[in-house]
Structure 1
Amino acid sequence: MSRGIYIVANDRVYDNAIALLNSIRSYDPEVPVFLIPFNEEYQKVADTINKLHNVQLFPNLEFIDQFTKKIGEIFDRDFLALPNKMRKLAVWFGPLDEFLYIDTDIIVFNKISDVLNKLSEVGFICCDYHHANEGLRNIFSPYVKEHNIFTETELQDVFNSGLWASKKGAITEQQMDEILRECATHREYFDFTQGVTDQPILNYMVLKLIPKRYNLVKTPEGEPGSWAGSKHFQEKDHVLYDQDKRLIYLHWAGTPLKPGGAYWDLWEHYRYLHEGRPAWQRKLLRLFPFVATRT
């Protein structure tokens, strides 16, 4: 049985992809990682993360192209803000039997592939507090609750689409095709007001098609959060803690990942873990040391 990680990236998120992979490899040197290109501009990032961390291209790029074309045929042009974000759904038809999907605006603080161990009991895993903090926002419109599209219990399983796990066979190509067409005819189900793309569709699909789901934060002892917008996390040895609990990962969802932003110094540590800062940045720090962030 093959297990591993998928990411979606292109050259625009070059630095983010390196930071993510540096963090993954800090705790898990051997786990297979596959890159699904976001678009045709991916050669630079693909070459770099392959050399650094043996990240492989998704082996069937023709399938990715066909899948992208199908998304364009199913959904009206103004339905999805960034249709190529839907490429992450191809993970159910890739080479891995059990897989973890991770967005590139994330860094991890442990052997993240251990999340896959729970797949022996369930078909889908997430690890976030979207259900508690955001409710249905950026996923479903009030229509879904008002018309009982899902039960109250099912709606407690909504999740952020940045980090999650599943396994091949949990969703078939025919099921996915049918559910995507169903979504395309029910725009009223979804909350796209903040410009999200894949998250509402992915949630609908998982709630409809995968009955056994598990959120790792829903344990009696609880788990720490993961949102970079939370300001109370404490750093120790380039790892974040929520009081005495080590975070599993940190996600900049909806939070600017930029100089001066939340946990920027920590992100920089992982980005430049195996190389020096670029020359322009070294010069800036010499001229303006007061804006320096620690490495």
Structure 2
Amino acid sequence: MNRGIYIVANDKVIDNAIALLNSIRFYDQEVLIYLIPFNENYHNIADKLSTLHNVQLFPNLELIEQFTQRIGDIFDKDFLALPNKMRKLVTWFGPLDEFIYIDTDIVVFEKIADNLDKLSEVDFFCCDYHHANDKLRNIFSPLVKEQQIFSDSQLEDVFNSGFWASKKGIITEQQMDNALRECASHREYFDFSEGVTDQPILNYLVLKLIAKRGNLVKIPGGGSGSWAGSQNFQQQDYALYDRGQRLKYLHWAGIKIKANSPYWELWEYYRYLHEGKFAFIPKLTRRLFPFVTARI
């Protein structure tokens, strides 16, 4: 069985992607990782990530182009702010039997692929508190609840689209096509007011088509948070903790990563991990990245 990670990226987000991949490889040198190009401007990032971390290009670029065309045929031009963000949906038809999808504005703090073991219990899982904090915001309009498009219990499973996992074949191409056409016929179901693109549609697909769902934070006492907008996390040894629990990952969702952004120094550490920019380099870093040297 092939297990691994997918990302979607292009040359514009190369720094974020390097930070993410540095953090993944910090804890896991072996996991398979595939790059799905966001658009045609991906050759620099593909070369860089391949050289640094053995990231492979999604093997069926024709499938991606066909899917992109299908999205353009199904949805009106003004429906989706960034239609190419929908390319992450090809993960269900890629080379990995079990996979985690991760946005590039994330860094991880553990061997993240180990979480795929959860797929022995469910067919899809996320790991965030969107259901508790933002609820239906940036996903569905109140109409979905009012018209009972989904039950209250189903709506408790809404999630952020930046980190989630599933299995190849759980959704067929025909099922996805039908569900996407339903979405295109009911713009009133969705909350696009803050410029999101894929998140409302992905939530609709998952709630509609995958019955066995899970959320890694839904454990007794609650799991750790993950949003960089939270000021409650404590840093220790280039990882973050929430009420004593180590975060699985940190996501700058809706936050531009730049100097003075929340947890900027942590992002910067992972971004330059292999370039020796920082004076203090933990032993684990030297073991995984022996070419790292301290900055003078």
TM-score computed with the length of structure 1 as normaliser: 0.93
Counterpart-to-counterpart distance in 2, 1:146 and 1:116: 35
Report if aligned partners of 1:144, 1:150 keep a CA contact under 8 Å in 2.
yes
The superposition leaves residues 150-197 of structure 1 with CA deviations (integer Å, 9 ceiling, x where unpaired) of: 000000000000000000111000000000011000000000000000
DSSP-derived class of the 2:192 partner: coil
Q: Comparing 5-14 with 231-240, which one deviates more in the overlay?
A: 231-240
- Cα deviation for residue 202 of structure 1 reads 0.2
Q: CA-atom RMSD, angstroms?
A: 1.2
Partner of 2:30 in structure 1? 30
Counterpart-to-counterpart distance in 1, 2:90 and 2:246: 31
The letter of the residue matching 2:269 is: H
Q: How does 1:56-95 map to 2 (within 5 A)?
A: 56-95=56-95
DSSP-derived class of the 1:274 partner: helix
The superposition leaves residues 64-118 of structure 1 with CA deviations (integer Å, 9 ceiling, x where unpaired) of: 0010010000000000000000000000000000000000000000010011101
Partner of 1:172 in structure 2? 172
The letter of the residue matching 2:39 is: N
Partner of 2:280 in structure 1? none
The letter of the residue matching 1:197 is: T
Runs in 1 of length 4+ with deviation above 4 angstroms? none
DSSP-derived class of the 1:45 partner: helix
Counterpart-to-counterpart distance in 2, 1:214 and 1:26: 27
- Cα deviation for residue 207 of structure 1 reads 0.2
Partner of 1:289 in structure 2? none
Counterpart-to-counterpart distance in 1, 2:108 and 2:267: 10
Q: How does 1:1-295 map to 2 (within 5 A)?
A: 1-276=1-276
The letter of the residue matching 1:179 is: A
- Cα deviation for residue 243 of structure 1 reads 2.8
Task: Please list every run of 5 or more consecutive structure 1 residues that lacks an aligned counterpart in the other structure.
Answer: 278-293
Counterpart-to-counterpart distance in 1, 2:12 and 2:256: 15
Report if aligned partners of 1:13, 1:104 keep a CA contact under 8 Å in 2.
yes
Report if aligned partners of 1:256, 1:262 keep a CA contact under 8 Å in 2.
no
DSSP-derived class of the 2:273 partner: coil
The superposition leaves residues 106-155 of structure 1 with CA deviations (integer Å, 9 ceiling, x where unpaired) of: 00000100111010111101000000000000000000001000000000
Partner of 1:280 in structure 2? none
Task: Please list every run of 5 or more consecutive structure 2 residues that lacks an aligned counterpart in the other structure.
Answer: 278-294
Counterpart-to-counterpart distance in 2, 1:169 and 1:12: 31
TM-score computed with the length of structure 2 as normaliser: 0.93
Counterpart-to-counterpart distance in 2, 1:9 and 1:256: 16
DSSP-derived class of the 2:14 partner: helix
Percent identity reads: 73
